[in-house]
Amino acid sequence: MKPDHPEHPAPSDAATRKAIRPVICYPVEGLPVPNLPAYRAAREGWSLISEVLVPARDGRTFEVPAGWFFRIVSVEGPQVGDLNLFAAGNLGERFFSGKTRALHGTHLSTGDRMWSCLPYLRPMATVTEDTLDWYGFDDFGGSVHDVIGTRCDPYTHTLLSDGDQYHHCCHSNLTRAVAAQSGLPLHAAELHVHDVLNVFMCTGFTRDTGQYFMKASPVRPGDYLEFMAEIDLLGALSACPGGDCSAEHSSDAAVCHPLLVQVFKPKAPPVGWCSPGANPYDRSHGQE
């Protein structure tokens, strides 16, 4: 956070320095573009295979084979969720929110992808439909489905609340869910929990201080965020203890609701689609 009153005076060419135009860090013209019409056509005649209801202030896991679809659905009231993704059978390959943010921006919507961590760096899932895409960016700079927040966690909560111990933060919920699915002890499962896609959460940065903010989510029952799995996936979702995050999170005071995960099997994979293999970078040269 920048100070309100800098300690050092501006140099004589300050205005010139500030006026330099920005350069996009990662030009994405060469990034493979998903064939959304083919993805969407694959939904015709699909079958609902499973549903997982994630209780309020809790977490659950779900599995999605490559080429299948999954939806995160608001079912009872405004509610945000924190999503982790792993390659099925390999907790070491997980969602990389920082690189996803660098490639697609601060908030995801239709056509954007969730990328895995290094050294894998391949698409894990592609957003195929977003019923909140109408929201765009509001006058405060807020938007939905962010990859800028981390996840509410008990460690930060303890620091900011004079030692209060709270055990239903999204980090805690995801840890318990991953432990239950994998059979790992909690302390080992916790090491695999990572920065999230904040599904349905409305967030941004304040214009004056650059602080991360949240505001009431525009999500309503029936809204959903839909993905196609690009690889075999294990997902973990927490229904945030902040409810719609209109006032606070990591709290039992907020009104919270469950979230529903639906998994769909298409009759056939999208035309021309194949699951992405390993990243083509030959790291053996970098290790010589």
Report residue 210 as tokens. 């650059």
Q: What is the 3-state secondary structure (H, E, C) of 63-108?
A: EECCCCEEEEEECCCCCCEEEEEEECCEEEEEECHHHHHHHHCCEC
DSSP state, residue 37 = H
- Alpha-carbon separation of residue 238 from 43, 44, 60, 285 (angstroms): 26, 29, 7, 40
Domain residue ranges in the chain: 52-221+232-268
For residue 1, the model assigns a pLDDT of 75
- Which pLDDT tens digits describe the chain residue by residue (288 residues)? 777 788 999 999 999 999 999 999 999 999 989 999 999 999 999 999 999 999 999 999 999 999 999 999 999 999 999 999 999 999 999 999 999 999 999 999 999 999 999 999 999 999 999 999 999 999 999 999 999 999 999 999 999 998 999 999 999 999 999 999 999 999 999 999 999 999 999 999 998 899 999 999 999 999 999 999 999 999 999 999 999 999 988 889 999 999 999 999 999 999 999 999 989 999 887 665
Find, among 40, 66, 54, the residue nearest to 127 by Cα: 40
For residue 248, the model assigns a pLDDT of 86
Torsion sign across C-alpha atoms 99, 103, 105, 107: negative
What is the distance between the alpha carbons of residues 129 and 111, in angstroms, rounded to a whole number?
8
What is the per-residue pLDDT across 28-80, written as a single tens digit (0 to 9) for each? Answer: 999 989 999 999 999 999 999 999 999 999 999 999 999 999 999 999 999 99
For residue 288, the model assigns a pLDDT of 58
What is the distance between the alpha carbons of residues 236 and 195, in angstroms, rounded to a whole number?
12
